[in-house]
Amino acid sequence: MTHLLSGHRLGGLTLPNRVVMAPMTRVRAAAGGLATPSMAAYYAQRATAGLIVSEGVQPSLIGQSNPGTPGLHTDEQTASWEQVTGAVHANGGRIFAQIMHGGRVSHPDTTGLQPVGPSAVAAVGDVFTPTGPQPSPVPRALATAEVPEHARSYADAARRAVDAGFDGVELHGANGYLISQFLSSNANLRTDRYGGPAARRIRFAVEAAEATADAVGGARTGIRLSPGGGFWGVEESDTTELYTALLAELARLELAYVHLEATVAEEVLLTLRRAWPGTLIVNPVLPMGPKQTGRDDADHWLDLGADLISFGRAFVSNPDLVERLRTGLPIAPADEATYFQGGDEGYLTYPPYAYAA
């Protein structure tokens, strides 16, 4: 039986345990999408994770989804991340940057630009803006000739990430953002080579992964997916066929990993485990659902064939999560009201476990 606290080889990295800090938006970036000293401290506090995956980082201005999120598309942004990667490495950790293009999940009040997507179909729900939630706008459908530029934006950001000291990158192909929109059968109504049957709807994801692997190496490239997730109104009429085809194409790129969210029935995830020959990270409970991932969930999926287990909310309030998992200490609850409020409260103020004297 694979043990959560045993080591694992990931590309060129040796992970001391199989605990992954999942990417989580915290909207603490400075003006201009810059990483800050507080962000460096936040990630450094959690460096005992086998791998940290950063919050979503926009690869372009038009790719920004939420206000207050960091970028990797200017020289100033790239330089600002050096303090983060340096702090994590100084504490013995490893960190990938999650590259996240929001696509239609954005707003002109946030970026000054009309959002883009595979088709002119608005997301379901309100999006965050500098003045509060507003209805999702109808995006501009990308012309066929424009699509490769947006696929390459992931690779451009990946180069900057490696220049800034990140150990690799994760493409955000999940949760209703741009890659997920192209995979969708209701957000993607295209009739060109990027739309229609599953074999064409996977093309954007494959091109983004291929460009990124060419830019920084497959061993430094992962991708996160949420099969059947339904976030922001995204639907897939053929989830198993779609993701089996996608994984077959990604396998030839020899990526570092695929990161699956438990957004579909377990038997479908097991089918995808069998379809993927490389390292698999599983986020074993529904993101933003009622339950946090615990040790039992992790052990269950390690027994089913996952290689690494990602923990989200538990890492927010437990910078020493690995030690708590190792010793069976209680997992402290997080204050959800502080998730997106900015500042250091609810960010740097969670202490490690306090042993009785």
Query: So which residues are the catalytic ones?
Result: 177
Burial class, 86, CB count within 10 angstroms (exposed 0-12 / middle 13-18 / buried 19+): middle
Rounded to whole angstroms, the Cα distance separating 60 from 311 reads 27
Rounded to whole angstroms, the Cα distance separating 149 from 168 reads 21
Q: Which tokens hold the place of 41?
A: 């401290």
Residue in the block written with tokens 């992931």 = 154
Calculate ∠ Cα 118-77-257, nearest 5°.
60
In the three-class reduction of DSSP (H, G, I as helix; E, B as strand; rest coil), residue 330 is classed as: coil
CB of 322 within 8 A of CB of 29? no
CB of 64 within 8 A of CB of 111? yes
Phi, psi of 77 (to 5 degrees): -60, -45
Residue in the block written with tokens 């960190």 = 95
Q: 3-state secondary structure string, 84-136?
A: HHHHHHHCCCCEEEEECCCCCCCCHHHHCCCCEECCCCCCCCEECCCCCCEEC
State how far Cα 207 lies from the chain centre.
Answer: 18
Residue in the block written with tokens 């010793």 = 327
Rounded to whole angstroms, the Cα distance separating 240 from 269 reads 9
Calculate ∠ Cα 286-117-102, nearest 5°.
45
In the three-class reduction of DSSP (H, G, I as helix; E, B as strand; rest coil), residue 350 is classed as: coil
- DSSP label of 28: -
